[in-house]
Structure 1
Amino acid sequence: MSKSAPILLLPGLNASARLYAEQIPYLWRFGSVMVPDHTRDDTIAAIATRILADAPPRFALIGHSMGGYIAFEIMRQAAERVDRLALLDTSARSDTPEQTKSRLECIAMAEQGRLSELNDNVFPVIVHESRYDDMALRAICDAMSKDIGPAAYVRQHKAIVTRPDSRSTFAAIHCPTLVLVGDSDLLTPPDLAEEIAAEITAAQFTLIPTCGHLSTLEQPALVNTALANWLAA
């Protein structure tokens, strides 16, 4: 099996490399794998700039949720360095006023030391209903939150609140692109993924069944198959 360019995996909000626990060993057969730090800056542009400074000259890019927002910014800053692009459970749109209000409330709760309460509230929103009582999955989410910590969580949320609308970048994306989403994703619903796939030249759209927002953890085998097909394109 031929090797691809190095593969960069970008986690989402309040998520660490554990988000890709089932993908990292699988993807190593295609090329080296890196999970850049996305916790140290409070704007999407600054996060992308820091990642690009440490990244290989050319790479395949996979972004989940907030990682997708960062991936769009990397395409704005250095599209020529991206060999191929995968956008998982994400959106190209900026926040609605209602979303911004909710995020500001989350920031306030985190600053008050209430991150664990936030995690309790969010878990049923980010997973498929069949996973509400999945304590192993919940433990992974709690561990990722501890990996990130409240200060970095606040920085990430501030970056998301101020992110630009990325739909203007669609026409400039010409590399092989995978757009993937869980069929029951409540945070970034399938219609947002369909919008991205429809506007990017030759993008491949994949809908993952019985799956919420955490596709890489909820349906890892299906996600891995989709990623393998994308890397072979």
Structure 2
Amino acid sequence: MTGTVPVVLVPGMLCDAGLWEDVRGALGHPVVDVDLSAPSIGGMARQVLAATEGPFVLAGLSLGAIVGFEVLRLAPERVAGFCAMSTNAGAPTARQREQWAALDRFTAEGGFAEVVTERILPTMFATTEPPAERARTFLAMANRIGPEVFRAQLAAQATRTDAHEALAAVRAPALVLGGGADALCPESFHTAIATAIPGAERHTLPGAGHLLPLERPAELAALLGDWLRRFSFRKELHA
């Protein structure tokens, strides 16, 4: 007997299950949400693997996709399909490490609210001043995540390694999505990822920023839902 594999949704930094609110219902699969709170990419990958049993489709955005790269390395047999959104498979640069260290320091000194509103929010959407409703949704997620988990996520970012070479070993169907106006992850990042994974599909949402599920939920749901249906991800169920 067969059943539909779950889709494990892995959000980006400072995001939670609310990121996918307007997308999950269109996927046609059971959905499992994962929160990322470990202070390393390896630890976060283990959080993903512990979230469900058996095979699953992993859909990750930004940090969530970076964690997905590590999940593919650790347990490729568990990943029936992989969707990477708004992300970067490269190792951290010296500038990024400096920026993360500064954000961690400001947060530790009590500046979490300022970091989120002044440093992070302006990079999340296609414009530095997003519509008020989108800004409120992101800020609500960030406040639920809170400063301590944010600091763990910053620490995890610093443990990233370049994943491009490892992605050449991926044999699961893969979908790579990005926004044409993403200030953090330009199209070249997604081209490199899609080139590294054999047979990967790649789509760009013109004019979209970093948080695709909030900014373009209908388009994202259509692309992801169509991809899931075409590959008909199923698993064997045993009584």
User: Equivalent residue for 1:163?
Assistant: 160
Residue in structure 2 matched with residue 64 of structure 1 by the alignment = 61
Does residue 174 (structure 1) correspond to residue 174 (structure 2)? The answer is no
Structural mapping, 1:53-202, within 5 Å: 53-121=50-118, 122-129=120-127, 132-202=129-199
Structure in which a larger fraction of residues adopt helix: 1
Distance 1:42 1:133, change over 3 A: closer
Q: Are the equivalent residues in 2 in contact too, given 1:197–1:203 (CA < 8 A)?
A: yes
| Cα deviation code 1:72-126 (max 9, x no counterpart) | 0100110111110000001110111011101111111111111111122222222
Aligned to 1:14: 14
User: Structure 2 CA distance, aligned partners of 1:45 and 1:197?
Assistant: 22
**In the aligned structure 2, how far is the partner of 1:23 from the partner of 1:221?**
7
SS in 1 for 2:14: coil
Scaled by the length of structure 2, the TM-score of the pair is 0.92
Structure 1 CA distance for aligned equivalents of residues 5 and 204 of structure 2: 25
Q: Which residue of structure 2 lines up, in the alignment, with residue 37 of structure 1?
A: 35
- 1:223 corresponds in structure 2 to 220
Cα gap change, 1:149 to 1:158, in 2 (>3 Å):
same
For structure 1, the 5+ residue unaligned runs are none
Deviation at 1:53, TM superposition (A): 2.3
How far did residue 48 of structure 1 move?
0.9
Q: Quick check: 1:3–1:31 contact (8 Å CA) kept in 2?
A: no
Question: Which of 198, 206, 210 is matched with 2:207 structurally?
Answer: 210
Q: Is the 8 A contact 1:93 1:165 kept in 2?
A: yes
User: How many residues get paired?
Assistant: 228
* TM-aligned CA distance change 1:90 to 1:159, over 3 Å: same
One-letter code of the match for 1:9? L
State the alpha-carbon separation in 2 of the partners of residues 38 and 118 from structure 1: 19
How far is 1:133 from its partner?
4.2
Taking the aligned partners of 1:133 and 1:48, their CA distance within structure 2 comes to 31
Q: What is the distance in 2 between the residues matched to 1:91 and 1:60?
A: 19
Tell me by how many angstroms 1:193 deviates: 0.4
Q: Partners in 1 of 2:208 and 2:186 — Cα distance? A: 11
Q: Give percent identity, aligned residues only.
A: 29
* 2: CA distance, partners of 1:194 / 1:85: 16
| Distance across 1 between alignment mates of 2:30 and 2:79 | 15
* Runs of 4 or more above 3 Å deviation: none
Q: Which runs of 5+ in 2 are unaligned?
A: 231-239
| Residue aligned with 2:4, SS | coil
Deviation per CA, 1:6-42: give whole Å up to 9, x if none. 1100001011111111112222xx2110101211x10
- Length-normalised TM-score, structure 1: 0.94
Distance 1:7 1:133 in 2: 29
What's the offset of the Cα at 1:3? 6.2
